[in-house]
Amino acid sequence: MKITKDKILPYLLVSPYLLHFGLFVAFPVIFSIVLTFHNWDIISPMEFTGLNNYVRLFSDKIFFKSLLNTLLFLCIHIPLQIVVALFLAEILNQNINFRGLFRGAFFLPVIVSGVVVTILWQQLYGFDAGLINRMLVKIGMNKIGWLTDPNVAMISIAVMATWKNVGLYIILFLVGLQTVPGHYYEAADLEGASRSQKFFRITLPMINPTIFMVVLLSTVGGFSLFIEPYVMTGGGPLNSTISAVLYIYKQGFFYYHMGYAATLGLFFAVIIMLVVVIQKKYVEQET
């Protein structure tokens, strides 16, 4: 059969993507799955261990603690993110003075390096010399161990992560709010609807797809929590801020347990996939 130029051209056109996909997606994924059945410290040859890494995973208390920590982070971070972002977007959608300046100011933390933000917040959260505790003492309150109290540390990190990312979600909500047709509000005004009625009966249902997108992005972003605990607390105190990704990183790059780290990573990827699928089903039902 004669191979014509027309038959080769499509393959040539898709080959850069296929090469990229093969090298940076397919190969690492397949290699990771193979790794889960091995012990490998990078410098010694791989050793086949069957299902040992999976057995170890199910008895690893710190890993399950890290999963719970990640879940706690999501439970604080996502609602907080949505409420704050929606509230600010609603304000910034009004005709207020310096609107452009405020929009820019709220977006600024998004483009600042995560490490810089965490170092800045470390100063704010300091027990003795931190600005927040100094203000609390000034108004007669007790100091709080923002990063040293195991019951508070994850909440502190979630608040900081919300501050860092809220600008992005404000933009998304602004886009959503501006797609709501104005005549809905005019009709509601004629019917004598209150401000809150208009918000809950018109705005919220109309921006439901945006809310889903924000929940999805926050969930995926939240699952990859790493920089904040890595820089601020190292996962402490008492493992109260160790996230799943940080724990996997430690197994892989502190102790070079590449096989075990791959097993944890695979298990965690399955959890993320399940959560996203459930979220998607739920939202599809709602809409």
Partner 1 sequence: MLLFLFLLLSSCFQNENVNENDLIYWSSNNSYEINFAKVVTDNWNKDTHLSKVYFQPVPEGQSSEEIILAAVVGKTTPDIYSNMWQGDVEAYAQAGVLIPLDTLDGFLDFLYNRCDSTVVEEIKSLDGHIYQIPWKVNPILLIYNENLINKLSLKRPPKTYSEFLDLSYEFMDDADGDGYTDRWFGYAEVQVTWWQRFFDFYPLYLAASGGASLVNNGRAVFNNEHSIKVFRFLKELYEKNYFTKEKLSSRQDVFLSSVIATRFTGPWEIMHADNFKTDDFLYDFSYIPVPDNHTGPVYTYGDPKNIVIFNSCKNPEEAWRFLKTLISEKGDLELLKITNQLPRRKDLEINDTFRDYFNNNPKMKTFASQSKYVKGTDASPVLKEVFDLISQEYEACVVYGIKTPEEALKDAEEAVNLLFLK
Name the site residues for partner 1 (rule: CB under 8 A).
41-44, 56, 119, 122-123, 126-129, 137, 143, 145, 147-148, 150, 233-239, 253-256
Side-chain half-sphere CA neighbours of 106 within 13 A: 23
Q: Which residues contact 11 (CB under 8 A, 6 or more apart)?
A: none
By beta-carbon proximity to partner 1, the closer residue of 121 and 163 is: 121
Least distance CB 76 / partner 1 (angstroms): 22
Least distance CB 278 / partner 1 (angstroms): 33
By beta-carbon proximity to partner 1, the closer residue of 44 and 287 is: 44
Least distance CB 238 / partner 1 (angstroms): 6
By beta-carbon proximity to partner 1, the closer residue of 127 and 184 is: 127
Least distance CB 58 / partner 1 (angstroms): 14
By beta-carbon proximity to partner 1, the closer residue of 160 and 215 is: 160
Least distance CB 44 / partner 1 (angstroms): 5
CB atoms inside a 10 Å sphere around CB 14: 11
For 162-188, the DSSP string reads HHHHHHHHHHHHHHHHHTS-HHHHHHH
| Start-end of H helices in the chain | 5-21, 27-35, 52-58, 61-92, 99-111, 114-125, 131-138, 153-178, 182-190, 195-198, 204-206, 208-223, 227-232, 244-249, 258-286
Least distance CB 87 / partner 1 (angstroms): 32
Answer yes or no: are the C-beta atoms of 76 and 240 closer than 8 Å.
no
Least distance CB 127 / partner 1 (angstroms): 4
| CA 229 to centroid of chain Cα atoms | 13
By beta-carbon proximity to partner 1, the closer residue of 134 and 281 is: 134
By beta-carbon proximity to partner 1, the closer residue of 89 and 153 is: 153
For 32-54, the DSSP string reads HHHHTTEE--SSSPPEE-TTHHH
By beta-carbon proximity to partner 1, the closer residue of 68 and 75 is: 68
Task: Output the CA–CA distances (angstroms, integers) from residue 120 to 76, 143, 270, in the order listed.
Answer: 21, 19, 34
- Report which of 262, 232, 268, 230 is spatially closest to residue 246, judged by C-alpha positions: 230
